[in-house]
Structure 1
Amino acid sequence: MRKLIRTFSFLIFILVLTTGCGGGSGGEPGRVAAVENSLIPAVIKAGDEPPLLHLEDRMRHFRVPGVGIAVVNNGVVEWAKGYGVVEAGGSRAVNAQTVFQACSISKPVAVTGIMLLEQSKTLDITRNVNDYLTSWRLPDSAHTVREKATVERLMSHTGGTSVGGFAGYAPGEALPTILQTLQGISPANNKAVEAVYVPGTKWSYSGGGMEVLHLMTQEVTGMPLRDYMQRHLFTPLGMSRSDFAQPLDGPLATNAAKGHDVDGGVVSGGWNTYPELVAAGLWTTPSDLGRLLVETINATRGHGIALELETAVNILTQRPNSEFGLGFMVETRADDLVFKHTGSNQGYKTYFMGLRDRGQGVVVMTNGENGSPLMYEIVRSVVRVYDWPDIEGAEEAELVDVPRATLRSHVGAYVGTFRPTGKEAIEDIDFQVYLEDSGLMLRLAYAGGSGRMDLYPVAHDEFLLRGDLEGTLVFDVDAQGRTIGFSIPRINVTARKK
């Protein structure tokens, strides 16, 4: 794959920007233009050079109105730029100062701030989190007899806690307190946070565990988490466009990207509110997250502003039985240490990735429900243009050409069922297969989520799915050659054509 990219690296650097984009700052113009013109899809034809796709074309393809990008190179935020608009149908452009919901990237940001309490000896992360809680405690259970939910384990998703994520609250809905969230009582829309496996024995992603840290931080510091983070993390690092504000208020609200649904329409009220601050509540910009990325890298070299060397190394050390360090997912490679996180709130999708030893990284923020495949295409472009290690690389497959008539025969509305192993079936999922110039796409919508995905043909009736759904979609064709349904065997999905 990397060899293929090198064969046309000269071409991508001489590309020039052919359409207008939003405001930005810094960056070598050739590289910025190359990133904008070199997006690479999730799957490419084996042996061929990958197609170079234009950012604004792919934004339209995935119905994502706005995007923000920041690139860190040589230990600094080299450039940051906005694309598209803050609201579909509007004229206000996304720029480098536009704030987005960080979604789950809130977690490593908050954990970094909380680690300053460990740094000042106010907190010992190896202790049971209940040692620091007074108004509520994580209930003891058979799972916590021998092992405890330590602060460190909660930070690395090995604390044994329940509640993977939070749905947020629409405008006008009552918002729960942190205690109501942890107890799972009205108006909270989640179940109670509790220990559901032995802490330390495995990792299981837990927004609930992060909210235990939310309460702990407030009780240890005696101040709201929002104020603590502003004073001890955001202000020292110059993150002036960042705030754990839920609901959003103040000057940031005047330049905030609104969330958009699977069809590109504005989310009711513009966005959901997430009072679960550590889990999902940060508003910020790619530039500010780039500043945190730079601080983390610099601190590992002993040159941090807020973080000391020992603290940064601790954050980026992978924990036993986990894919995480503290807050960040960590991958130790032969060529570097990669720390990263992604995020997903209603109408927003986000990506953060740093390369510790190279002093490089990228942040992508989108205001669309279909932002995930787009942000990975952007990341692949940045990685190739800057010649970074092959991260989030495109998959090579034996793709085939399928006649348009055959593709059209698969087009239509379907209704299906998802039968996850060991869990209750999810029925009445609406699927739509439709045809664009680039090929077939799949739209799905049900109570638990929605999205649009490209279908990559490996046969006339078999297509690869990559992203929110993973597997091979196989169309069912009857004796008369009519498409009557499809299945995705890998994830136990079946659907019939309406």
Structure 2
Amino acid sequence: MREPLEVRIERRLQETGLPGVSFGVVAEDKLACCEAIGLADKATGERLTNRHLLQACSISKFVSAIIALCVAERYKVNMDADINNYLTSWYMPRTRRDGTGAEADTEAGAPPLKPVSLRSLLCHQAGLLDPDDSFDSLVPGESAPTLLEILGGQTRLLPQSVVPVSAPYENFAYSDAGYCVIEQVLQDITGMSFTLLAEEFLFSPLGLGAFECRFEQPL
């Protein structure tokens, strides 16, 4: 007889030292269950519930990609066009960052880099490279920076401005910064915050009333 799922998860929590986990099970295209096991706070012994906020981390990129495709369809966005055609509050540089981390002029006689497109950003091939140790979690009491502060390299989350290190499609490099750019593009196209975009294009149509995409406090 197979162990119940809850028993297996409890054992894995003990083995890994993780305080708790929240999970959902989908069967036959329906949510069969949504459970939470373990502790929300080791210090107080508070039990974790499926109403506690947990970090989604890069699961949010999947959400962002769906929203980007929905916006592109409604607003007739060319997925392969220069994103600077759509940006109004920020500009993607056409130069590249040199080996020292500084923004370098295009080599003498060489043309500017090819434009960065929404498609290249979505597939992590826009020529962006995140610095080591960037995009760490916020800590309790730390204010969330604005998107423009992140893109401008004005925060510890990303200590340098977003500038390509190579031309689009030359290399694959998983990039959190690239998805920050996507968020800015979508907001500039629609005039809506990403919170409202997530609600309109994803959470509301799917009936996900318990989901939201906004910052309340560091987790």
With the length of structure 1 as denominator, give the TM-score of the two structures. 0.38
Identity of aligned residues (%): 25
Pair 100,187 (structure 1): closer, same or farther in 2 beyond 3 Å: closer
Distance 2:141 2:6 in 1: 39
- Contact kept? 1:174, 1:187, Cα under 8 Å: no
Match of residue 73 from structure 1: 27
Distance 2:136 2:159 in 1: 8
Distance 2:57 2:193 in 1: 19
Alignment of 1:52-451 (within 5 A): 54-141=8-95, 142=106, 145=112, 147-163=114-130, 165-186=134-155, 189-248=158-217, 271=219
1:155 maps to amino acid: L
Q: Number of matched residues?
A: 204
Match of residue 36 from structure 1: 6
- Contact kept? 1:85, 1:92, Cα under 8 Å: yes
Distance 2:45 2:164 in 1: 48
2:65 maps to amino acid: V
Pair 79,206 (structure 1): closer, same or farther in 2 beyond 3 Å: same
Pair 85,204 (structure 1): closer, same or farther in 2 beyond 3 Å: same
Residues 333-361 of structure 1 deviation map (CA, whole Å, 9 limit, x = unaligned): xxxxxxxxxxxxxxxxxxxxxxxxxxxxx
TM-aligned CA deviation for residue 74 of structure 1: 1.9
Pair 139,107 (structure 1): closer, same or farther in 2 beyond 3 Å: same
Pair 67,172 (structure 1): closer, same or farther in 2 beyond 3 Å: closer
Match of residue 487 from structure 1: none
Distance 1:87 1:235 in 2: 31
- Contact kept? 1:118, 1:125, Cα under 8 Å: yes
TM-aligned CA deviation for residue 186 of structure 1: 4.8
Residues 9-33 of structure 1 deviation map (CA, whole Å, 9 limit, x = unaligned): xx31xx4xxxxxxxxxxxxxxxxx2
Q: Secondary structure at the match of 1:99?
A: coil
Distance 2:138 2:46 in 1: 26
TM-aligned CA deviation for residue 224 of structure 1: 1.2
2:69 maps to amino acid: M
Distance 1:166 1:146 in 2: 26
Match of residue 99 from structure 2: none
Pair 241,160 (structure 1): closer, same or farther in 2 beyond 3 Å: same
With the length of structure 2 as denominator, give the TM-score of the two structures. 0.83
- Contact kept? 1:163, 1:190, Cα under 8 Å: no
TM-aligned CA deviation for residue 99 of structure 1: 2.9
Any stretches of 5+ residues in structure 2 without a counterpart? 96-105
Distance 1:81 1:173 in 2: 30
TM-aligned CA deviation for residue 223 of structure 1: 1.6
2:148 maps to amino acid: L
- Contact kept? 2:151, 2:162, Cα under 8 Å: yes
Alignment of 1:480-491 (within 5 A): none
Q: Secondary structure at the match of 1:237?
A: coil
Q: Secondary structure at the match of 1:100?
A: coil
Match of residue 254 from structure 1: none
Distance 2:204 2:47 in 1: 27
TM-aligned CA deviation for residue 91 of structure 1: 4.1
Q: Secondary structure at the match of 2:165?
A: coil
Query: Which has the larger share of strand?
Result: 1
